[in-house]
Structures are given as structure tokens and as C-alpha cells.
Structure 1
Amino acid sequence: MIDRLLAPKILDLVKKFPIISLTGPRQSGKTTLLKNLLPNYRYVSLENPTTRTFAKEDPNSFLKTYDQFVVFDEVQRVPELFSYLQTKVDEDQIMGQYVLSGSQNFLLLQNITQSLAGRVAILKLLPLSYAELSKANLLSESIAYHIFTGNYPAIFGRGLLPDEFYSNYIETYVQRDVRELLAVKELSSFQTFLRLCAGRVGQPLNLSSLATDCGITSPTAKAWLSILESSYITFTLQPHYQNFNKRLIKSPKLYFYDTGLLCHLLNMTDARQVETYYQRGSLFENAIIADMSKNRFNRGVSPQFYFWQDSNRNEIDLLEEGVGTINLFEMKYTATINPEHFRNLRLYRELSSIGGDNFLIYAGEENQIRSNAKVIPWNQVINL
């Protein structure tokens, strides 16, 4: 098993909260991590129809049967349980009493908000980060390899080829998760929608255009995008609000949590196709932003990430807000740095009165300190 960097945070929080919520995409390693990390906990899967019926029909007896130190997996399948959990933990006052695991974030967080506010620590486990791969000596020298392969644990732990894994992943995701939310006749359209999203990575999201290309309405496109985000397939970056008296792009940008899945949806069959893809810069940008997000989630922190782009196409790929600071990150899929790469970093700093560090992340091998930015190789993102 590859060590997961979220593990220390889980062990810390089970001492401080009665309930821990761990969500993330299917097959990101949640069950494996929890079973190894908390060996004395009972593991109860609510995917099991008999168990699920017990929990739905008699939640009080269910929680008496599983009264403490229990992992409930796919708990969002029994939303009736949450209010009973609230009463149970309030009565017992036991830290680490329950761990709730799930792959459908929208249901879980909705019910946590309603029933368990203040009683639960919320954590996310995404596919492997470059830091985790590096620690396990699995980080290749080729960024194209990692963009193409992706980062799901099964690919590294079971030796599956990307096509073998992602073909089955998409089929399982659509047939199990999406089928519960959409009419059967819409499933093929949803798969088309998923592929169209892959072709728009790193671009400002135009829901109207996306809907037209898919043959659906804009409200449907918005609802389907919400499904993708809630099941940790895609995420969006919102535009930063500082306008400096300029017209700004107001639409969010779309990204995938896993670039291997993204490449599969783009019909890539080899890592070399990443290097020749006409929007390879967007693939590189996606890989870096997703990995930086994982670094924050693995520390139990929600990323404060944005992008900035004005109507003249001046753009900063990623802004990270801190306390009184804004750090800027530009991504360039090139092994050679030229002065033009720093132009937008300079422009933003000239416009903004808020300080911070500038970073240029590239596909080369050397760290450099330039007058306008720290130049960081892609594989050093593990330290950011």
C-alpha cells in the first residue's frame, strides 16, 4: 500500500471530533486507507442491500448494533441516518465514534450541513499526489507519462494499464452513480457531455455552447456539471474578483481531478500523444493545479485557488489567496524559459497593491531564481 499523506490528519481528528467525514472519488483509496489506519474499527458498507435496508427501516436499532468506532461506507445512500447520528453522538460524547465515507459529495455534505454541523470534521481523499508517488519511488521523470497515466492507486498497485482502468471506471461511474440521478435514456448523452467537458479543460466555461454541442438545454448542462463536480470528476476555478478597472472574464474554468481520466476521454492511447496534443499546455496546467489541490486537501485545508483573465487575454493561471497575500502561479509546458513567460506576472504585480510570491512552473529540470519569479520544475510542485 502506498502511504497516504492524509493519514496523520485523520489520526489527529479522530481524537477531536465525534464524526469524521472522508469523501473522494470512487477508487481513490478511501476504504483501503481507513481499514489500514483504523484496524480496530468495524467496517460497514451501505452498498450492501441488506445492511442498507436495516439502516433505513430501523435506524435506532442499527446504531445500537454499530454503536461506536465504526466506519460507514457510502453513507450518503441512507440519508435518513444522519439525524439519528446527531442524537447518538450528542448522547455518547465519544471522540472518533464514527467515520463516514462516501463518493457522492453532494448528498453527504447536504446532510452533514443539515444534521451534523459542528460535530464532524470534513476531509477529502483524491487520487495519488505527486508527493505520494515520490515518497513511494514511483514518480517518473516524464510529466507526459503522469498526465497520461493519471494517479488512481489501482494503476500503480495492481499494474493495470490506463485504458483497462479508465474504460471500466467510466462504465462503472455512469452505470452506478449517474444512473441513480438521470433517466436511462439520458445516459448516452451524459457520456457525450463528459467527453465534451474533456475538450474544454482550462478554458472559461460556456454552458450555452456546451449544451448546444451536446444537444441538451443550458439548465441540464448546469445540472450535469454539478453531478461531475459532486462525484469528484471535475472541478472549477472561479475568476478572481480584482478587476483593476479592467473588464474581466467572469466564467469559471473547468478542470479534471485526474488527468489520466481526462486523456482517456480525449481518446489518447499513448503518453507521446500528450506531447503533441494541440492543447497540451492545458493538460499540463490541469495536472499542476490538480496536484496542488491535493497537497492542500492532504493537509486538511481547502484550496483558496482562483484564476485571473481580462478581456485582452492577459491571464494568470492560478492565484492562491493567503492572509494579506496573493501568490501567483504560471504553468508552461516547456523545458526552456524565455522572458515572455514572465509578462503576465509582471503585469499583475504592477496593477495590484497586494504582495506575494511569483512562481513559474515548467517542464524542465532546474530550479531558478529570476527577478520576476521563482522557476520551479513540475516535479517540485510536491513542495508547494
Structure 2
Amino acid sequence: MIPRDAAHTLVRLAKGFPVIAITGPRQAGKTTLARNIFKDKPYISLENPDERDFALTDPKRFLARFPQGAILDEVQRCPQLLSWLQGLVDERQRMGDFVLTGSAQFSLIESITQTLAGRVARVELLPLSASELGQVNKLPETLTQTLFQGGYPTLYDRPVSPQDWFSNYVATYVERDVRQLIAVRDLGQFQTFVKMCAARTGQLLNLTALGADCGISAVTAKQWLTVLETSYIVTLLRPHFRNYGKRLVKTPKLYFLDSGLATWLMGIRDVQTLETHAARGALFETWVVSELYKQRLNAGLAPDLYFWRDNSGQEIDVLCETAQGLQAIEIKSGSTYASDWAQNLKKWQTLASSEFPNSTIMYGGESNFERDGIKVWGWRDVTQASPPS
């Protein structure tokens, strides 16, 4: 197992909460992490029909089998169990008693909110980060290979190609699990929708245009996109609310949470094609944003990531909330620094004045340096660009 940065957060939270919930996309490593950190607890998968039937028909006796707590995997398959779990942990008053995992964030979090409020701490686990891969020398040698491969653990644990794995992942999980949540009848239409979302990663979200391209209404497009978001396939980066005297764009930007999945959905089947593909810049931006998300979620923090754009087109790719104030990050996929990369950051510094502590450029090169008071970080050091506060 590749050590996960979220392990420290899990151990810390288990000292102060009776229930720990680990949520995230399928195949991100939730079960492996839970079983590795909580080795002394029995493991029960509610995907197992016998276990699920027992939990549904006799939840009290089901839980009574675990006097020292347990890991309950895919607990969203049996949400009724959480009400019985509430009474049990209240009675025991023991921290780190039960560990829950689940892939369908929407149904799981809805149940947790209703029944375990104040008793549960949540860790959201995304696929492997560059930091985690770098610690075990498994980060791909080139940026393009990194974008192409993404971060799902299986691609680093087994001799399987990204194109084979993503093909089965999309068919098995995205099309099956996500479709079930919204009862999509037309598989072809939903496949087109997911691919159209991938083609728009890193762009402002236009639900009307997205729906029209897929033959669905904007209302349906919004519903489907919400399910992709709550299933950890995509995220929406919200515009920052401060206008600094400018009229702001209020539309969010769409990002996939794994560059490899987005690459496969775009129809890019080899590294050579990606090297010169028109979407390479958007995929690099997608990768950086997802890395910033992972960094904060692994530390148990809210992402607190935004972008800023006015109606004249001036834009800052990412704004991070830090203890020192807002940090602005520009993302450039080029491997050689260009002096005009800092223009938007300098304009932003003028607008934001003292509220702006530092500026950073993330680029596709290897070196780290400073230009005109702006730190420039190579792609391998993405986690150094904006350490969580």
C-alpha cells in the first residue's frame, strides 16, 4: 500500500469522535486506508448480500457482534443502520469506535447529517496525490505521463494500462453507480454528457450550452452534473466574491477531480497524442486544481479554493484562503517561463493591495525560482505552491 497523507488526519480524528466516515470516489483507496489504519477492527462489507440482509433485518444483533467496533464498508447500502449506530455509540462513549466508508457521497452524507450529527468526523479521500506518489518514487517521470495516468491507486499497484483500466472503470462505476442515482434511461445520452463535461474541464460552466450539445435541457444537465459532483467525478470552482471595483463573472468553473479520467473521456489514448493536444493546458490546470483539493482534504480542511475573473476577461486561475490572507495562483502548462505570465498577478496585486500576501505561478517546467517577487514552482512541487494553513 502507498502511504496516504490522510492517515494522520484519521488518527487525529479518531481520538475525538466515536465515528469516522471516509468518503470518496470508487477505487480511491478508502477501504485499504481504513483497514491499514484500524488493523484491530473487524471488516464488514455491506456489498456482501448476506451481511447487508442481516443489517437490514436485524440491525441491533448485527451491531452487537462488534463489541470493539468495526469497519463498515459501503455503508450507504444500508442507511437504516446509522440510526441504531447512533444509540450504540452514545451508550458506549468510546472514541474511534466505528469507521464507515462510502462511495456515494450524497446518500451517505444525507444519512450521516440526519442521524450522526456531532458524533462523526469525515475525511474525503481522493485518488493518489503527487506528494504521495513522490514519497514512494512512483510519480511518473514526465508531466504528460502524470496527466495521462491520473492518480487512481490501481494504476500504480498493478501492471494495467490506463486505457484498459479507465475503460472498465467508466463502464463499471461511472455508468452504473452514477446512473442509478438519477435513473438515467438513455445510456448513450448520459455517456455523451460525461464526455462533454470532460471536454469542458477548466472552463466556465454553461449549463444551457452543455445541455444543448447533449440533447437535454439545462435543468437535466444541472441535475446530472450535481450527481457527478457528489460522486467525486467533478468539482465546481466557485468565483471569489470580492469585486475590488470590478464587475465579476459569477459562473463557476468545471473541473474533473482526476486528469487521467478526463483524458480518457476526451478520447486521448496515448501519451504522444496528449503531448501536443489542444486540451493539454486545460488538463494541466485540472491536475493542479485537483492536487490543491487533495492537499487540503487530506489535512482535514475545507478546500477553500476559488477563482477570480472580471467581465473584461482578466482572471486569476486559483485563489486560496490562507491564514495570511488570499493567495493567488496562476497555472501555465509551458515548460519555459515567459515574462508575460505574471501580468494578471501584478494587476491583481494592484487591485487587492494589502489583502494579498503572495503570488505564485505553477508551470510545467522542472525548476523553482522567483521573478519580480513572484514565486515560480515546477509541476513536481505542486504541494509546495500553496501549503494548507
In the superposition, the TM-score normalised over structure 2's length comes to 0.96
Residue identity opposite 1:130 in structure 2: A
Q: In the alignment, is residue 333 of structure 1 matched against residue 333 of structure 2? A: yes
Query: Cα deviation per residue 1:319-342 (whole Å; 9 max; x = unaligned)?
Result: 001235100000101112122100
Conserved in 2, the CA contact under 8 Å of 1:346 and 1:372? no
Would the alpha carbon gap of residues 175 and 378 (structure 1) be closer, same or farther in structure 2, given more than 3 Å must change? closer
Shift, 1:313, TM fit: 0.9
Secondary structure of the equivalent of 2:318?
strand
Residue identity opposite 1:27 in structure 2: Q
| 1:129 match | 129
Q: In the alignment, is residue 358 of structure 1 matched against residue 347 of structure 2? A: no
Would the alpha carbon gap of residues 39 and 301 (structure 1) be closer, same or farther in structure 2, given more than 3 Å must change? same
Shift, 1:184, TM fit: 5.3
Which residues of 2 match residues 268-307 of structure 1 at below 5 A? 268-307=268-307
Shift, 1:154, TM fit: 0.6
Would the alpha carbon gap of residues 131 and 324 (structure 1) be closer, same or farther in structure 2, given more than 3 Å must change? closer
| 1:370 match | 371
Q: In the alignment, is residue 380 of structure 1 matched against residue 381 of structure 2? A: yes
Shift, 1:66, TM fit: 3.1
| 2:25 match | 25
RMSD of the TM alignment (CA)?
A: 1.3
| 1:224 match | 224
Shift, 1:146, TM fit: 0.4
| 1:317 match | 317
Residue ranges of structure 2 left out of the alignment (5+ in a row): none
Q: In the alignment, is residue 252 of structure 1 matched against residue 224 of structure 2? A: no
Secondary structure of the equivalent of 2:312?
coil
Residue ranges of structure 1 left out of the alignment (5+ in a row): none
Secondary structure of the equivalent of 2:64?
helix
Residue identity opposite 1:309 in structure 2: R
Which residues of 2 match residues 80-119 of structure 1 at below 5 A? 80-119=80-119
| 2:8 match | 8
In the superposition, the TM-score normalised over structure 1's length comes to 0.97
Query: Cα deviation per residue 1:197-235 (whole Å; 9 max; x = unaligned)?
Result: 001011110011111111111121111111111111101
Conserved in 2, the CA contact under 8 Å of 1:345 and 1:372? no
Conserved in 2, the CA contact under 8 Å of 1:40 and 1:69? no
Shift, 1:179, TM fit: 3.8
- What CA distance in whole angstroms lies between the structure 2 residues aligned with 1:240 and 1:186? 37
Conserved in 1, the CA contact under 8 Å of 2:316 and 2:345? yes
Conserved in 2, the CA contact under 8 Å of 1:149 and 1:260? yes
- What CA distance in whole angstroms lies between the structure 2 residues aligned with 1:175 and 1:333? 31
Residue identity opposite 2:255 in structure 1: Y
Secondary structure of the equivalent of 1:185?
coil
Residue identity opposite 1:377 in structure 2: G
